[in-house]
Amino acid sequence: MRLIQSAGVRRHRVVKGRRQRPDPRFYVGSGKVGEIRRAAEELNAAFVVFNHELSPAQARNVEKEVERRVMDRTELILEIFSQRAQTSEGKLQVELARLQHLATRLVRGWTHLERQRGGLGATGGPGEKQIELDRRYIGQRVKVLKEKIRTLQRQRHVQRRARSRRDVFSVSIVGYTNAGKSTLFNALTHAGAYEADQLFATLDTTSRRVWLREAGNVVLSDTVGFIRDLPHNLVAAFRATLEETVHADLLLHVVDASSPAREEQASEVDKVLAEIGADAPRLLVWNKIDAAGSGNELSPAVERDQYGRISRVFVSARTGAGLEGLREAIAELARQRATGRGATAVLPQPFQH
C-alpha cells in the first residue's frame, strides 16, 4: 500500500474483508474487528489503518475494540500532507484541511466531553461543555486560515494578471500522484524541484519561466498530485493552489505509462479537474516509457488525431527521451493560441497496443 509507505510507516499485516455494504457500527463486521485486534496484539502494532473513510462513530467504535489508534484513509493522507508541505502557503492549507476534518471528529479526541466546565471569563460561561469550546476554537482558527489563504490567492491573481498583460502562455502540469510530474518539471525547466518515488512528493506549486523556440517565454507550473478518492475537504483547502491549474492556457496531464492502472488513474484526475472547474485544453503526456516493460515497450513519439491535432506525447522524464518532441508540441499549441486558431487539444482514447 503506497500510502502507508509514503507516510514512513512500516506495514506489518494486511487484513482483507468483503461485505455487500459497510457495517454501520464498525464499517467491517464484528468478526473482522476481532481478527484485526488479534493481529494488532500479535504484532504489537501502534495503530490500525483503514483504506476507507470511516465515520466518526465507526472510528471510535473500532478504537474501543482494538485498543489502538485507528486512522482512516483521509487521516492518512492528511498525515502525509503535513509531512510534505514546505512553503508557508502549503502549511496553511494542510492545517486548514486537518482542522476541518478534526471538526467532525472532536468526539474522538476527548474523554471528558460529557463533563461541563463551570466558571466565568475567557474559558466560557457556566455549564459550557469542553467540546463546545473546542469547536469554537477550531472555528476561529479556520476563519483566520481562510483569510490568510485568500490574501495569498489575491497575490497570485495579481501575478496572473501581470502574465496575462505580457501575453505569456501558461502551462500547468497535472496528474496522478507519483506519475513523475516533478521529474518532468525539472527536466523541462532545470528548476531542481523536490522529486521522489513516493506519493505526494509535491504539495506546493512551483512556477518557472521556460524559453521555447518559435514560441518565446512560457510559464510552467508543477502542482499537487491527485489520487483516488481524494477527500473533498483537501480539494477545497488546496483550491487556492489549484487555481494555477484552473487559469492555465494548457494542462499537461502526466500519466504513468508503466502503471497497470494508468487509465483508471487518468480518469480520477479528470474527475478532480472537473470538480475544480479546470476546462483548459489538455495534452496527455505518457511518462516513464522506459519503465513500461513486460510487452508494453513504448517509444518517444508525438501522436495526432484524425484532424492533425496533437493529442498525446510519449516521453521519459528520467532519461530525457521524447522531451524535445514535447517542447515542440507545447510550442505548437502556444503558437496556435497566439495566432487565434485556438490551442484545442483533444482527450485521446485509451492507448491501444
pLDDT digits (tens, 9 = 90+) for 251-304: 999 999 998 888 998 988 888 888 778 888 899 999 999 887 655 567 888 898
pLDDT at 164 over 70: no
Query: 20: helix, coil or strand?
Result: coil
Q: Strand 169-175 relative to strand 206-212: parallel, antiparallel, unpaired? A: unpaired
Q: What percent of the chain has pLDDT over 70?
A: 71
How far does Cα 14 stand from its chain's mean position? Answer: 24
Are 336 and 308 in contact, with CB atoms under 8 Å apart?
no
pLDDT at 350 over 80: no
Distance, in Å, from the CA atom of 345 to the CA atom of 10, rounded to the nearest integer, reads 43
Q: What are the distances in angstroms from CA 272 to CA 28, 54, 152, 196, 257?
A: 28, 21, 22, 23, 20
C-alpha cell at 212: 521555447
Dihedral sign, Cα of residue 144, residue 149, residue 153, residue 159: positive
Q: Give mean pLDDT, residues 146-158.
A: 77
Task: Identify the pLDDT of residue 38.
Answer: 92
pLDDT at 199 over 80: no
Task: Identify the pLDDT of residue 245.
Answer: 75
Distance, in Å, from the CA atom of 222 to the CA atom of 317, rounded to the nearest integer, reads 14
Band (127; pLDDT cuts 50, 70, 90) = very low
Q: Give mean pLDDT, residues 343-352.
A: 42
pLDDT at 229 over 70: no
Which is nearest to 225 in space by CA: 181, 264, 188?
181
Distance, in Å, from the CA atom of 311 to the CA atom of 265, rounded to the nearest integer, reads 18
138-144: long-range contacts, CB 8 A cutoff, minimum separation 24: 138/99, 138/102, 138/103, 138/106, 139/103, 141/95, 141/99, 142/96, 142/99, 142/100, 142/103
Instruction: Provide the β-strand partners of residue 226.
Output: 176
Task: Identify the pLDDT of residue 163.
Answer: 56
Q: Strand 116-117 relative to strand 128-129: parallel, antiparallel, unpaired? A: antiparallel
Which is nearest to 87 in space by CA: 240, 243, 196?
240
Q: Running DSSP on this structure, what letter comes out for residue 310?
A: E
Task: Identify the pLDDT of residue 6.
Answer: 64
pLDDT at 113 over 50: no
Helix H or strand E segment including 69: strand 69-71
Task: Identify the pLDDT of residue 232.
Answer: 61
Candidate ranges 72-81, 220-229, 320-329; pick with highest mean pLDDT? 320-329
pLDDT digits (tens, 9 = 90+) for 51-61: 888 888 888 89
Task: Identify the pLDDT of residue 51.
Answer: 84
Q: What are the distances in angstroms from CA 140 to CA 113, 118, 149, 187?
A: 20, 22, 14, 43
Q: Is 187 left (phi over 0), alpha (psi -120 to 50) or beta?
A: alpha
pLDDT at 165 over 60: no
Distance, in Å, from the CA atom of 203 to the CA atom of 225, rounded to the nearest integer, reads 8
Band (342; pLDDT cuts 50, 70, 90) = very low
C-alpha cell at 342: 485556438
Task: Identify the pLDDT of residue 195.
Answer: 47
Task: Identify the pLDDT of residue 241.
Answer: 58
Neighbours of 335 (CB within 10 A): 16
Band (115; pLDDT cuts 50, 70, 90) = very low
Q: Is 167-338 assigned to CATH 3.40.50.300? A: yes
pLDDT digits (tens, 9 = 90+) for 66-81: 998 888 888 887 777 7
Band (142; pLDDT cuts 50, 70, 90) = confident
Distance, in Å, from the CA atom of 307 to the CA atom of 170, rounded to the nearest integer, reads 24
What is the chain's mean pLDDT, rounded? 76
User: In terms of DSSP H, where are the helices of the chain?
Assistant: 2-6, 30-43, 56-66, 73-84, 88-103, 106-109, 130-165, 181-189, 232-237, 239-246, 262-276, 323-338
Annotated domain spans of the chain:
2-71, 167-338
Between 197 and 318, residue with greater pLDDT: 318
